[in-house]
Structures are given as structure tokens and as C-alpha cells.
Chain A
Amino acid sequence: MKLPETQNIIRRQRLYEQLFIILGIVALLVALMTLLALFTRLAIDGMPRLTPDFFTNFPSRFAERAGILSAWVGSFLVMFVTACAAIPLGVSAGIYLEEYAPKNRWTAIIEINVMNLAGIPSIVYGLLALGLFVQILGFGQSILSAGLTLALLILPIIIVSTREALRGIPGGIREAAYALGATRWQVVSDHLLPYSSGGVLTGVIIGLSRAIGETAPIITIGALTFIAFLPSSPFIAEFPFISFKWVLDPFTVMPIQMFNWTSRPEEAFQFNAAAAGVVLLAMTLLMNGIAIWLRYRIRKSIKW
């Protein structure tokens, strides 16, 4: 091959490479600009409605008087139930699979199963909850049903992140503890869990931030969309001062309130929807921000 031909080929290859870099940047910009457009539009539509009253009013037939009190209280309580159910279950399952499980076919089945669970559409979990929690177990369309549904939904996220956090701990730590005569559970509870707590916490927060925005499964269990009252208070005047009556109360949550307003024809309700969207987005972003920051800090601070 002659030199000029070769130079031509090189020039052409370099040109393709430059074109691809531009293409890559354009693709990134499309994704980022969409995100930016979403934030901007939501902020423009929603900000004027974000008055203190908006947080302390119940939903109403009149758009200007409607608020998200029952929705954010509901979201908070549902998240509480979800966390109480998903964290112990998910972390225990993660510990078993990473530290205890023998390498055999049963373990492989459980592992494949966890992966598959993560791929099941959220609305199918809603149908499971409708059939199991609402009908068979008789929890009704309550905070308990919704919290448990979302707990099942985020279980794979918590299991996987627990395992990853445990896997990051060097084997030497385990061996040192065993050498001192610690039992398996002592190794796990005194060493592995404290050292992996940051990673586990990151996974829990990511899971909860996913749960707080889930709409479809909660609609499926039949959560009402117009709730102008609060669940009963967890604190009571008589002994033992704490009541769990609220877990069986009807409720609404932020994403359902937003969906409800979005599907109304009157324009005024669109602004309410946008305002609810801003609050919902702020909650998820805050949680994700904390998770990203935690992960960054763990990576910086822990050197084995």
C-alpha cells in the first residue's frame, strides 16, 4: 500500500472517531436536557402553588384550596411500614446468601429467583397484594397492605446491595475473628455488619426512594384517591401511649395524589399536580443524593 492511501485511511478513521465523540456528547445532552426540561417545567408550573397551606390542606374540589396533607402523611407512614418489613428481611437474606449459603443448587435457585424478582413489573406486585394482602389476609385497602407491597417490591434491591457490601469486606477480617474463637454469628454481628453498614444503608435508601415514587401497585390494591382525613394518631393519651390502629386505616400517597390531579381536565389542577410533583421529586432526589454521597464517602474513607 502506498503512503498517501494509508494516510487517507488514517484520516478517515480519525474523522469517524471525532464524529462518534460528537454523537456521544449529543446523546448525553438529549438525556440531560430532557431531565432539565422536566425539572424546569415542573418548577415553573408548581412553584406558585407551593405555599405553606399546600402542605397543611386536605385535597379539595377547589383547586386553589387543595393540598397534600393526607398524601405526605400517608407516604411517610407507608414508607415506615415498608422499611420495617423490608430492611430486616432483605438484610437477613443478603447475609445468608453471602455468608452462610453452601454452594449448591438450592442457593443457585434462590439467587436466580432474586434476580428474576427484580425484573417483574411493579403492577404485578400490585396484583399479588390485591389477591394476598387485601383479599386473603383481609388487611383491606390499608397502609399495612401498601407498605408490605412496596416492601416486597424493594426486597431484591436491599438483598443485592447487602451482598455487595459484605463482599467488599476482605476475607482477612473474617479469618482474624474466627482465629479468636468467634462463632459465625459473632463474626457477622460484631464485624461484618458494622463494617458494611454504610453500603447496606445506601441500598436501603435507594430502595425506599424507589418505593416512595411507586404509583401503579398502590392504585392496584385499590387505594382511594380522595382522602380528606388523616389516619388515626400513633400516639394516644392512655397507656401504652402508642397505638397501631393507623396501619389498617385508608390512606393516599404523594404519587397517587399527583396522578389524581394530572388526570383532571381543569387546568388549575395541573398546577397542583406539578406542585405535588416538585415535592415528590424533591423527596426522591434528596434520598438519592444522600445515597450517592454516602457511597462516595465510603469509597473515600475505607481503605482495607
Chain B
Amino acid sequence: MKSSHPRARKRRIKEGLIETGLLAAACSSVAITFAILYILVKESLNFFAEVPLFDFLTDTQWTPLFDDAHFGIITLISGTVTTTLVALSVAVPLGLTIAIYISEFASPRLRETIKPILEILGAVPTVVFGYFALIVVTPLLQKIYPDLPGFNMLSAGLVMGIMIVPYISSVSEDAMRAVPMHLREGAFAMGATRLRTALTVVVPAAFSGLAAALTLGCSRAVGETMVVAVAAGMQPNLTMNPLQPAATISSFIVQVSLGDLPHDSIGYKTIFAAGLTLLLITLVFNVIGFWLRQKFREEY
């Protein structure tokens, strides 16, 4: 019905304007993605105009701010991978156990009490966790390994692991709670205990959600900055030994940003190349997570 009444027309125009405005807001998120890619790629191209990509990938030293500059990103990746592995070795078993316990065993009352507390654990600012790693966890570890340096990847990784637990446990728990009750009832009717039901029925049925939780945990650990910047030291160190200090990609970016950098300096361009590497690594995790979700999706 096309009304030519002036009030109706005014109203149609107003509705159209509002819808356009809302659409623009929704598109802003796409614009952010493009802006991130544009800025990182543009500055990285400047970087690779001066440093050959081959050296970037194969050099074993990372000394971009020295006179004898080397740009071997592998040095920073080794720090990132090591801290991430330490963190995941804590966060995955803890997070999954907590998720199974809360979803399949805990009473509703216990669940309602525990979830907000875990949420608080996830809300603590990361710089506070960094302080905790440096001031509390490292001295504790030094009682076990007296040779442990004051800055080390082990303590940073462990604290990071605890920090990620709420992310893994809450996403996994949601996935397991979404598994329909009749699947469990079937297992119970066959005489399975709650544990067997959880491990052989609920976990496989929720697998795509669990995969999402794990990849989320991975990308959190890879991108985490402040804990490693505070507690792992910031010297680049090509090692996979968690007992040593090392820099990660993100802590290097922080370290460079703490100084005053002229816009055209190589140091300024370097952090964008490092940032692009970090983004690509998290992208790989997200793609793997997406693929796992698609492949193991169960519809009920």
C-alpha cells in the first residue's frame, strides 16, 4: 500500500534513515577488520622493503634495535610457543575437568555459586596476574628449582594457564549443557555411571563446542601480553626451555612501545611486522577451530 499522505511519507523516510544508520553501525565491525589488515599490511610492506622476508623467517637472532640488526622472528615465536604450551598444559586439563564436573556432577546450587567466581577469575586485569607471577609464583618455583632466574617463562605460563581456565571451562560447559538430556538418559538406562556417560556420551556429543573452547584458549594464550611482559623478561631468546627468560611477539611490541619511537624508524615498522605475524598465528587457530566445529557438528 503506497500512501501519499505527507505524514506517512515522512514516517517512511525516517524509518529508512534509521535503518541505514543501524546498518552502518553493523558494518563498522567489518570496517575495523579491514582497518586492522590495512594498517598491519601497509607498515609490514615498509618493513619488508628493508628486511628480506627470507631473513625474517630464517635468521636465528632478533636484535632489531641494535647496530648489528637481525630480524629472526623465529626467536620471538619460540617464546610465544613455549609460554602457550605451558599455559595450555595447565588450562586444558583444569578447564575441562571443571567443565565436566560443573555440567555433569555439581548440584544446581553449587553451579550457581561457582560460575560467578570463575567469571571473576576471568575478569582480573592481566597486569595484576603479571604482578602475581613475578612476586608470588616465581619465588615459590625458586624454592623447587633454586637456579630459576627471576624472569622465566615457566611462571608466566603457569599463571597464564590459570587465567585462561575460566574461558575454557565456561565455553565447554555451555557446550556440554546443550547436549540433550535424552542422550544421557539412554546411557543411564544402559547402566552407565555418570562418569562413563560424561566421557563416552556427553563429551563426544559436545566435541565441536569443546574444540571451540580449546582454540579460544589457544588464541588467548598466544596473544596474551602483560603476564609475559612482566614475568618472563623481555630479552629475545631462541629456546623452548620454560626455565629460561624470553620475549614473546606481544611482549616485544610492548617493549618497543615503551620507548619513544620516531615514525619512520625500523623499530616502528618492526612492531607491525611482529603484529602481523601474531595476527596470522591467531587466524590459523581460528580457522582450525572453525573447521573442527563444522566437521564435528552434531544436530539434535
Contacts and interface: CB of A to CB of B under 8 A. Distances in A.
Nearest to B33: A113
A213 B127 contact: yes
Contacts of B195: 13, 16-17, 20
Interface stretch (A191-199, A233-241, A243-251, A273-281): A273-281
B58 interface: no
Given A96-B26, A113-B29, A225-B258, A124 B14 contact: no
A119 interface: yes
Residue in B102, B118, B128 with the greatest tally of chain A CB atoms within 10 Å: B128
A183 B11 contact: yes
Interface in A207-245: 209-210, 212-216, 219-222, 225
A41 B93 CA distance: 26
A93 B39 contact: no
A227 to B, nearest CB: 14
Contacts of A13: 193, 195-196
B124 A25 contact: no
Interface string B243-278: 000000010011001101101000000011001001
B36 A259 contact: no
A277 B125 CA distance: 9
Nearest to A274: B131
A96 B11 contact: no
B32 interface: yes
Interface in A36-68: 37-38, 41-42, 45
Contacts of A90: 25
Interface residues of B, number: 83
B132 A120 contact: no
A281 B25 contact: no
B69 interface: no
A100 to B, nearest CB: 6
A177 interface: no
Contacts of B114: 28
Contact of A131 (B39, B119, B136, B257): B39
A113 B23 CA distance: 15
A210 to B, nearest CB: 7
Interface residues of A, number: 86
B208 interface: no
Contact of B22 (A92, A123, A219, A259): A92
Nearest to A27: B97
B3 to A, nearest CB: 12
B98 A27 contact: yes
B154 interface: no
A187 to B, nearest CB: 11
A30 B117 CA distance: 13
Interface string B25-44: 11111101101100110110
Contact of B230 (A24, A30, A88, A259): A259
A141 to B, nearest CB: 10
Contact of A100 (B22, B36, B127, B260): B22
A128 B258 contact: no
Interface string B89-122: 0000110011011100110000000101111110
Interface of B: 11, 14-15, 18-19, 21-23, 25-30, 32-33, 35-36, 39-40, 42-43, 93-94, 97-98, 100-102, 105-106, 114, 116-121, 123-132, 134-136, 162, 165-166, 193-196, 216, 219, 222-226, 229-230, 250, 253-254, 257-258, 260-261, 263, 271-272, 275, 278-279, 282, 285-286
Pick the 7 closest A-B CB pairs, nearest first: A121-B223, A213-B125, A24-B101, A92-B25, A131-B39, A96-B22, A216-B225
Interface of A: 13-14, 16-17, 20-21, 23-25, 27-28, 30-32, 34-35, 37-38, 41-42, 45, 88-90, 92-93, 95-97, 100-101, 109-110, 113-114, 116-117, 119-128, 130-132, 135, 152, 155-156, 159, 183-185, 206, 209-210, 212-216, 219-222, 225, 255, 258-259, 262-263, 270, 273-274, 277, 280-281, 284-285, 288, 292
